[in-house]
Amino acid sequence: MRVVFMGTPSFAVPSLEALLRDHEVVAVYTRPDAAKGRGRRLTASPVKERAIRDGIRVEQPRNLRDPEYADVLRSLRPDAIVVAAYGVILPSEIIELPRLGCFNVHASLLPRWRGAAPIQRAILADDVETGVSIMRMEAGLDTGPWCIQAATPVGAKTTAQLTDELAELGATVLLAALELLARDGCEWVAQDEALVTYAAKVTAADVALAPELTVGEALRRVRASGPTAPSRMCIAGRSFVVVSATVSDLRPALAGVATDAGLTLGLADGALRLDVIVPEGRSAMPSEAYLRGARLSADESWSAV
């Protein structure tokens, strides 16, 4: 099958690799190179880097609304377009262009968590399970019917862990869906609009820590956090990013701080031990390593940033 692939982050790479093994990928579309790091150097997306390794044609339009982009895609004669976390809205003209259709590898069990941040929202909502859906794209936001879904428990997984797991799961079910599609065997299931939830982009406020949270709420915020929306808190006027944490048996007072073998924060119904933190202006470190050089009073307290 002749396929045009559209994707940008690492989540999309396993799907691209699966297509490269079993189909003819005639072009890859990805977001323009972005300035990253302290030096603000232009950096290629993970999908672009993977495509270049196999000598695949790479296109990086800022949007797809210009008619010339439809002409370029038409010239490629794709049987299907596969999208996985591309980050660009596809106009109807593009969606309707391929002979077999345009399909999305979406990281949720639709209709739950349509939108930009389904993995983080599943963690924050304390969902028992999440998964991937192979969806036929329409003009609306993740509104199309799906043909295959695969589920996995959320458990205590972080955003990074779930992203990696769902990326591999998505690649597997994508190939299964394309095989069914090739022999006209896909049974498309319409989404139940009564069950729709939306996964808005996660902000720092969504994952910020505060003393009035329960231990469960605080843990989910840490697990759902990441480089673009880190979990933050404050001790003695100093800001910290919390990278990982676990439930503690210690019981400091609400908003209190215990310093026995690491930083432990008092919450509404228990305590949270900070395993790895990033003090403002410094690199990530275990909280006990931070305490070796810190001067915290015995009655120290913590707060939201």
Same domain, 162 and 246: no
Mean pLDDT for 107-111 is: 98
Full DSSP string of 225-264 = -BTTB-EEEEETTEEEEEEEEEEES--PPTTBEE-TTS-E
The per-residue pLDDT for 38 is 72
Q: What is the pLDDT of residues 215-257, one digit of tens each?
A: 999 999 999 999 999 999 999 889 999 999 999 999 899 999 9
Q: Which residues pair with 101 in a beta bridge?
A: 80
290 and 174 in a common domain: no
**pLDDT value, residue 36:** 80
Q: 118 and 258 share a domain?
A: no
| Burial zone of 47 (CB within 10 Å; 0-12 exposed, 13-18 middle, 19+ buried) | buried
Please say which residue of 199, 216, 243 terminates a domain.
Answer: 199
pLDDT tens readout for residues 112-170: 999 999 999 999 999 999 999 999 999 889 999 999 999 999 999 999 999 999 999 99
Question: How many structural domains comprise the chain?
Answer: 2
Question: What single DSSP character describes residue 55?
Answer: T
Would you place residue 299 in the very low, low, confident or very high pLDDT band (cuts 50, 70, 90)?
confident
Whether the Cβ atoms of residue 271 and residue 251 lie closer than 8 Å to each other: yes
φ/ψ of 268, rounded to 5, equals -60, -35
What CATH number corresponds to the domain at position 85? 3.40.50.170
As given in the structure block, the two tokens for residue 144 are 């199309």
Quote the CA–CA distance of 168 and 135 in Å, as a whole number. 17
> Of 53, 62, 61, 56, whose CA–CA distance to 4 is shortest?
56
* Cβ–Cβ < 8 Å for 108, 130: yes
At which of 177, 199, 221 does a domain end? 199
pTM of the model: 0.95
Half-sphere exposure of 296 (CA within 13 A, CB side): 25
**Which range marks the domain in which residue 32 is found?**
2-199
Please name which of 43, 42, 52 lies closest in space to residue 20, comparing C-alpha atoms: 52
Same domain, yes or no, for 242 and 95?
Answer: no
pLDDT by residue (tens digit) across 167-220? 999 999 999 999 999 998 899 999 999 999 999 999 999 999 999 999 999 999
Same domain, 107 and 211: no
Per the omega criterion (within 30 degrees of 0), is the bond before 98 cis? no
Domain end among 147, 164, 199 = 199
Same domain, 190 and 63: yes
- Looking at the fold, whether 14 and 69 belong to one and the same domain comes out as yes
Model pLDDT for residues 24-61, shown as the tens digit of each residue:
999 999 999 988 877 788 999 999 999 999 999 999 99
SS3 label, residue 167: helix
Amino acid at 196: V
